[in-house]
Amino acid sequence: MKSRICTGMILAIVVGVIALACEQPLDISKQNCNGLIDDVINLSQNQSSPLQSKFIKIYDAKIVSNTDKRLTCKGLALLETGGEQAIEYFAYVDRDGDTFIGYEGK
């Protein structure tokens, strides 16, 4: 997978959803869930909320849905505390062609 540069600014924290804009476009049609794991882990590591644990690994990645504009996956995140959390994570391209990557605890 080609590496992408994602900005350090968290765009949204709404009902536990955290998303990040990426400077390099992502071809959603060529992605799979394992290809998003590093971006999701990096996003959790850089989050500003002290109330959410950081991820160190994601297990059992599976596709929930996949379209030309959005890939949604689910998995089990290993937390820095040693616990595990079910998550749903995604990548999507908006109408301007900008890529967003995010996740939500389940």
Largest distance between two CA atoms of the chain: 39
Q: Which helix (H) or strand (E) holds 9?
A: strand 6-14
9 or 4, which is more confident?
4
Q: Which of 37, 39, 49 shows the shortest CA–CA distance to 75?
A: 37
CA–CA separation, 91 and 29 (whole Å)? 11
Instruction: Show me where the domains of the chain are located.
Output: 9-105
The two three-digit tokens of residue 53, written as one number: 């644990």
Residue 40 has pLDDT above 70, yes or no: yes
**Residue pLDDT, tens place only, 48-104:** 677 778 999 999 999 999 988 899 999 999 999 999 999 999 999 888 888 889 999
CA distances from residue 62 to 33, 38, 95 in whole angstroms, order as listed? 6, 15, 26
Backbone phi and psi for residue 40, each to the nearest 5 degrees, phi listed first: -70, -40
**Confidence (pTM):** 0.74
pLDDT value, residue 70: 93
Band (pLDDT 50/70/90 cuts) for residue 41 is very high
